[in-house]
Each structure stands twice: as C-alpha cells, then as structure tokens.
Amino acid sequence: MKTTAPPPTAPLHSVIPSQRRHFNRLFAAVYAAALLFLFHHHILSLLHSATITSILLFISDIILAYMWSTCQAFRMNPVYRQSFPENLEKILDRRDFPAMDIFICTADPYKEPPIDVVNTALSVMAYDYPAEKLSVYVSDDGGSELTMFAFMEAAKFGKLWLPFCRENNIADRCPDAYFSTNYALSAKTLEIKMMYESMKIKIENAVERGKISDEYISSDEERKVLNQYWSKNFSRQNHPTVIQVLLNTNKDVDSTGGPMPDLIYVSREKRKAAPHHFKAGALNALLRVSATMTNSPIVLTLDCDMYSNDPLTAQRLLCYLPNRSNRPNCGYVQFPQRYHGLNEADIYASEHKRLFRVNPFGMDGLNGPNYVGTGCFFLRRVFFGGPSKYVRPEIPELGLDHVVDKPIDSPEVLGLAHRVAGCNCEDQTDWGSKMGFRYGSLVEDYYTGYRLKCEGWQSIFCDPIRPAFLGDVPFSLNDALGQVKRWSVGLLEVGFSKYSPITLGMRSMGLLMGLGYAHYAFWPIWSIPVTIYAFLPSLALLQGIPIFPKVYDPLFFVYTFLFLGAYGEDCLDFISTQGTFQRWWSDQRMWLMRSLSAFLFGSIEYTMKRLGMATHGFNITSKVVDDEQGKRYAQGVFEFGIPSPMFVPLAMAAILNLIAFFSGFVYIMKERSIDSLVMQMFIAGFGVMNGLPFYEAMVLRRDKGRMPTKTTITSILLLGLIYGLSYFVLRN
C-alpha cells in the first residue's frame, strides 16, 4: 500500500463537509414544491367552503411546514470534525496548557445521589492534564450537608484514585464506571475498590438516614464544617453562603506525592425573598467565586449526572482553541450529551439524538452548535460581552485581568468569595442580562448560547468516537415527559420574548442560524398539528366522514410524498448517526407522545405563567430508580404507575385510534369501498401501532408500572365527551 508523507506540521483537527448536503439541498427544493402544491389546494378549498375540518387541517399543515422549513437550516451544510490530541504536545508544552475551572451543579441530594455527583467530580479531577491547572467547583443548590460530607470523603479517596488511574493508564476514570467493567484483578485494584466501596457505603448510608453518623466524622475540622448546616435557621431555601476548600493544589498531594487539583464546595446564599434563578444563578455564582480564587481562562460546565468518559477530553478542547481553529470568534466548544444505561430500544428516546447529535452537526457547518447545558468548554471571556465589546464587571476582582496572588484558603480570598456568592451581589448589575449565564428562561442553556451567538460568538461541535461525557436518562415516562415539559416552558419564554430568534436572531446571526434557533424556540408548537392529526381524522372515520383526498387524486400522492419524505429523511438522519431502526421507531413514537403531552402541557404552563396565574420552577429530573422499576426499564417496558395527567391525552389518542380503525374496517366492509377513507385508515392504523404499549399497560399488565385504572377511566370519559362534540361539529 502506498503511504503518503505526513503533513509538515501534525494537524490538531480536521473538518469534512457531509456529502449528504447536496442531496439535502435538492430534496429540500422538491419537498418545498410539494408543499406549495398542498397549500395551493388548502387555500382553494378554504375559499370554496371553510369548514372546521378544513381550517384545522390548514393550521396543522402551516405549523408542520414551519417546523420543516426551519429544520432545513440543519441540513444545508453539516460538517464532521476530528481532533488529534495525540499531536498536541508536539506543538504545546504541557507546562503551557491553560488552567481550567470545572463547574459541577447539583441541587437535591435525594434526586441526585451525592455518590453520583462525587463520581462525576472524580472523573474530571482525574483528567490527563496537569493537576495543578484544574480547579473543580461544586455548586450545591440543595444546601445539603450530605453533599458536603460526600465531597469531604471524595477529597480523601481522590488522593488514591488519581495516581491509580495515572499509573495504570485507566480509560474509565469515573470510579463507578470503572468498577462495572472487567477490570484487572490485581491486589492494588482490589484495595482501591474496597476504599471506593467503603466511601460509597458511608455516603449512601448518610443519605438514607438523612444525617451523618458520628462515627463517620473523622476530625474536629470536619465537625466544624458540618456544624454550619446544623444551625437553627439553616434550610434549603434560607441559608448563608457555605464555601469550603476541600483540596488545595498548593498544599494537598496525592498518595504518591503528586499534585492534586483544587476541589471547592460552594453553596451560594439563599433567601426566600431573593430570586435565585435556578441553574443559571448557580453557574453565575460559580463564575464569580472561581474568579476570586483561580480565574482560569477556560470554564467547563457539567451537570452532576454527566461524568467524563475520556481522560483526553480537556486536551481535545485545546485542539480547538480559537487561535488554532478557523473560527476566530469561537467562544465555546460543545460536546454532545450522550448517555449510558439506555435500554436497547431507548423507549423514551431520551438520547434526544436529533437535538444532541444530528442537528449540531448542521449548526456546526454554519456558526456553531447550541449550548446544551453540560459538557461545554467556554472561554471565560464570553461571559463578559461580545468579541469586540468587553463588559467590565462592577467588582474589579471579577474581571478577566484580575490575577489571584493569594492562597485560595486565605481569609482575604475566602471573604471576597463569600461576598460574591451572596444574594445581593447581583442587585443592579449586568449579571444575567449582559454578563454570565442569562436569566429569564427555564432553558438557561439554550438561551445563554443563543444570546452569545447574537453577540457575535461562534462555537464548535466536538463529537469524538469515544463519548467524552456520559449522562443519566430519565427512567420513567412521567420523568421523561416532565423534562420536556420544563424545556417547553423555557423555550417559549425565549420565543415570545423581545429577544425572539424570529426577530433579533435572524437579524444578528443570519437567516440560516436564525431559522435553526427559531426551530427550537417554538418547538412546543408541534403539539398543535400532532394533536389535530391524532384526533380529527379518527373522529371523522368513526362517523364514516372522509376528510382527505381519494386514492386516485393527485393530492393523495402529494400527501404520501410529504409523509414518506419527512419520515424517511428523519429515519436516515437517525440511523446514519449510529442509530438502529428500533431506536428510531421509539424516537418517532416519543416525538408523538411529547407532542400530545409534554409540549401541550408545557404550552399551557407557559401561558399560565405569562398570565401570572402560576409560577413553575425548575423541577429537577430524578436520577434515582428503584430495583423493580430499573428492571422494567431494562426490559424496555413503559413505566406509567402514577396517575399523571400527562398520560391522559396519550391514552385518549391510543383508545380512539384503535376504535376508529376497527369501525373504519367494518364500514369499509359494509360499503365495499375504501377509496375515500384510505388516508384516515392509515392514520388510525399508525396510531394503533404507536399505541401498542398503551393497550398493554391498560389491559394486560398487572405490575406496578401499569396504567392506573383512574387514568384509563378519565381518558375514556373525556374521549366520550370529545366524540359527542365532534358529532355536532363534523357534520356541519
């Protein structure tokens, strides 16, 4: 085989445009023509006679067309990147690697087990990177001594874990992940495993009992730290700032005498009267606290449930620093959210493949991907105004040029750190509006990334073959829908704000990027067409009323093409991004379910919030699962169990389509003609295929995760009501 000479300097990264772009562009043109044909028909028939049915179908198709067209932004120019961290040290001395501040957020020890948070922290502390350049900050919005205790233990265990990983060149640096692989059974490994298990037992035991046993507290120093939580007025929503330097790189060494990274616990001040802005507020507090202590030029944000799966990740980031990439204004590098522990079919489609893996390639070919809340390396500079406009923070020590020249545990530094983590610190300042992570949306990630893009920052998407980060997925349907419901509220908050992507976005970052952001800002409006298509055709079918063109009508072919084209393209995108057909099927089913439920409830919640009728906060997704539930999840069985209102529209649609399909069948047999009802039969049949897990959960299952009878009955009653109404409406 002929070998080519190596390039003069070893490359750090490469970028290849996708071959599919040509096909995508052509297909978009054809599809757009078919859409025009469809709307031509819609308008003619509306002019001819506007019935409720024709108006509803028109509205549905307008929204579907909106979603389709905005989605084209992701298809015009996808690019794939590769990075070569192995070449890094040929160009950059290890001693010149920049310092990094790593932020890990946690907010509730009962929904986010502290042992998992500890695992996440250890996975990044053990990066293949100079330890003295890493500072890990843990934000505890739960204000819990359980989390503090877990980290006191983690600091001790870390001193063994880090050298162990380094010496044995271990790839899985998250202890829990490592010990669930086929690890080498050496004496050293078993010793470390024992240490890990003993730490885990202590932490889990403390969480279970809700307090820390006396025998677990090993020094007066520890007792003093924990004492802060035991004062009378200390509660989750009301407490002073707690900051604890658990490891200090200038003092602490590992078991072999090597340096340890900094490890700092921060629980910002909380007062009931002061808004705390959920995760965005927590991250801004960390931005300020870290500025007073280390002020590293690079910041990594991580959710507590997302551990690092590749020790080279930090070095990979260096391959893309702005002076080395062709994106001069690159302000952040986003790694995708990828997950561990998914069941084979990924029944809740919580991989969110289109959101986290498919579309970001498309945005990367334009101005760069969205920020998705975790697994993202930022230049600290981006939090202080656009590339050419530096916004100076009110407190000079928080600025980029501030050099920390005192030890991080000195009274001066700690004093200032406490002050900037306080509730009043943001009063009358630019934090949350022009500086830091942005407030005003429950999806602070989407919103912050969007505003940065509007300011002129660009970004890069980095999806290495070995996932850089792995996270947890929701284990029950209610959690999976609840998460998307929260996102829906947050997205609409941006969509209908004065910074809407439709206006500001398109103006400041160009048409295609603007469309991409506009696609997500109005994501929840999927609920409108999906709800209409789930109910209307089947309600009409039940009464033998045709609402779509007959088989030999040219319009029938247009509909067929539009449906197969959209589904086919979606399937192709999914499967070509390391997907299986089975998972794609779950993904499309879950899309229908989200639309019928999460998006719908999210839109209602958003409306109520706007009208001042309710205030919904950030409902944290639970990361715990009981054994039985875990078993069902592993087998790919849907988890209903609780009588959640979110299941009602889903059960209604499933039941209706089943009845409609059979009654349509009988009708066709009787009339001996199927021409005019083919499309409705298809839609009902499709609904039935998607509804299979529901029939099972309503009728056949006896386990705890079955559909509660109450929900089934409610759904049937409501369905009866809707059918009654439709009887009058559809016949007129």
Ligand X SMILES: O=c1ccn([C@@H]2O[C@H](COP(=O)(O)OP(=O)(O)O[C@H]3O[C@H](CO)[C@@H](O)[C@H](O)[C@H]3O)[C@@H](O)[C@H]2O)c(=O)[nH]1
Q: Which residues pair with 138 in a beta bridge?
A: 104, 265
620 binds, among Mn ion, ligand X, none (CB under 5 to 8 A by kind): ligand X
Rounded to the nearest whole angstrom, what is the least distance from the CB of residue 170 to ligand X in the complex? 25
Given CA atoms 495, 499, 502, 508 in this order, what sign does their dihedral have? Answer: negative
**Would you say 538 and 719 are in contact if contact means Cβ atoms under 8 Å apart?**
no
In sequence order, what DSSP letters do the residues of 195-261 get, joined into one string? HHHHHHHHHHHHHHHTS--GGG---HHHHHHHHGGGSTT-BTTBB--EEEEEE-TTT-B-TTS-B--
Task: Tell me the CA distances in angstroms from 177 to 119, 120, 152, 256, 344, one per residue in order.
Answer: 9, 10, 21, 24, 19
Q: Which is nearer to ligand X, 97 or 526 (CB)?
A: 526
Give residue 471's identity as a one-letter amino acid code: G
112 binds, among ligand X, Mn ion, none (CB under 5 to 8 A by kind): ligand X
Question: Quick one: DSSP state of residue 460?
Answer: E
Q: CA-to-CA distance for 360 and 354, rounded, in angstroms?
A: 8
- For residue 674, the surrounding DSSP H or E stretch is none
101, 116, 141, 472: the active-site residue: 141
487 binds, among ligand X, Mn ion, none (CB under 5 to 8 A by kind): ligand X
40 HSE (CA, 13 A, CB side)? 9
Helical H segments across 510-548, by residue range: 511-521, 527-542
Rounded to the nearest whole angstrom, what is the least distance from the CB of residue 109 to ligand X in the complex? 10
> Which region among 52-60, 148-156, 302-310, 633-641 touches Mn ion (by CB under 5 A)?
302-310
Task: Tell me the CA distances in angstroms from 536 to 46, 52, 282, 512, 563, one per residue in order.
Answer: 17, 10, 45, 34, 17
**Would you say 329 and 40 are in contact if contact means Cβ atoms under 8 Å apart?**
no
Residue found by looking up tokens 């009043």 in the block: 424
61, 101, 172, 445: the active-site residue: 445
Residue 111 labeled ligand binder: yes
Rounded to the nearest whole angstrom, what is the least distance from the CB of residue 5 to ligand X in the complex? 44
* Structure tokens belonging to residue 297: 């030029």
Q: Which is nearer to ligand X, 473 or 539 (CB)?
A: 473
Does residue 573 carry a catalytic annotation?
Answer: no
> Which region among 68-76, 153-161, 290-298, 299-307 touches Mn ion (by CB under 5 A)?
299-307
Given CA atoms 636, 637, 640, 645 in this order, what sign does their dihedral have? Answer: positive
**Would you say 367 and 290 are in contact if contact means Cβ atoms under 8 Å apart?**
no
Q: Which is nearer to Mn ion, 448 or 657 (CB)?
A: 448
Nearest Cα to 646, choosing from 596, 687, 694, 693? 596
Rounded to the nearest whole angstrom, what is the least distance from the CB of residue 279 to Mn ion in the complex? 10
Q: CA-to-CA distance for 303 and 138, rounded, in angstroms?
A: 10
315 binds, among ligand X, Mn ion, none (CB under 5 to 8 A by kind): none
Q: Which is nearer to Mn ion, 153 or 305 (CB)?
A: 305
Could you tell me how many residues of this chain bind Mn ion (CB under 5 A)?
A: 1
In sequence order, what DSSP letters do the residues of 276-342 get, joined into one string? --HHHHHHHHHHHHHHHHT--SEEEEEETTEEE--TTHHHHHHTT-GGGSS-TTEEEEEPPP-BSS-
270 binds, among ligand X, Mn ion, none (CB under 5 to 8 A by kind): none
Rounded to the nearest whole angstrom, what is the least distance from the CB of residue 303 to Mn ion in the complex? 5
Q: CA-to-CA distance for 311 and 303, rounded, in angstroms?
A: 17
Q: Which is nearer to ligand X, 283 or 697 (CB)?
A: 283
Residue 96 labeled ligand binder: no
**Would you say 649 and 592 are in contact if contact means Cβ atoms under 8 Å apart?**
no
Does residue 463 carry a catalytic annotation?
Answer: no
Q: Which is nearer to ligand X, 402 or 609 (CB)?
A: 609
**Would you say 81 and 462 are in contact if contact means Cβ atoms under 8 Å apart?**
yes
Rounded to the nearest whole angstrom, what is the least distance from the CB of residue 694 to ligand X in the complex? 24
Q: CA-to-CA distance for 460 and 376, rounded, in angstroms?
A: 10
**What are the residues binding ligand X (CB under 6 A)?**
105-107, 112, 139, 141, 278-279, 282, 303-305, 337, 373-374, 442-445, 483, 486-487, 490, 618, 620-621
Q: Which is nearer to Mn ion, 75 or 352 (CB)?
A: 352
Rounded to the nearest whole angstrom, what is the least distance from the CB of residue 621 to ligand X in the complex? 4
Q: Which is nearer to ligand X, 623 or 706 (CB)?
A: 623
CA angle at residue 312 from 307 to 317, to 5 degrees?
A: 95
CA dihedral 629, 632, 636, 641 (to 10 degrees): -60
Q: What is the separation of C-alpha 200 from the centre of its chain, rounded to a whole number of angstroms?
A: 27
Q: Which is nearer to ligand X, 243 or 541 (CB)?
A: 243
Rounded to the nearest whole angstrom, what is the least distance from the CB of residue 622 to Mn ion in the complex? 10
> Which region among 216-224, 303-311, 431-439, 715-723 touches Mn ion (by CB under 5 A)?
303-311
Q: Which is nearer to ligand X, 320 or 487 (CB)?
A: 487
Question: Quick one: DSSP state of residue 524?
Answer: G
Rounded to the nearest whole angstrom, what is the least distance from the CB of residue 443 to ligand X in the complex? 5
Q: CA-to-CA distance for 432 and 430, rounded, in angstroms?
A: 6
Residue 463 labeled ligand binder: no
304 binds, among Mn ion, ligand X, none (CB under 5 to 8 A by kind): ligand X
Q: Closest CB to ligand X belongs to which residue?
A: 373
Q: Which residues pair with 16 in a beta bridge?
A: 80
Rounded to the nearest whole angstrom, what is the least distance from the CB of residue 338 to Mn ion in the complex? 12
105 binds, among Mn ion, ligand X, none (CB under 5 to 8 A by kind): ligand X
485 binds, among ligand X, Mn ion, none (CB under 5 to 8 A by kind): none
* Structure tokens belonging to residue 625: 């699962």
106 binds, among ligand X, Mn ion, none (CB under 5 to 8 A by kind): ligand X
172 binds, among ligand X, Mn ion, none (CB under 5 to 8 A by kind): none
Binding site for Mn ion (CB under 5 A): 305
Sequence ranges of the binding site for UDP-alpha-D-glucose? 111-112, 141
Catalytic residues: 141, 445
Sequence ranges of the binding site for Mn(2+)? 279, 303
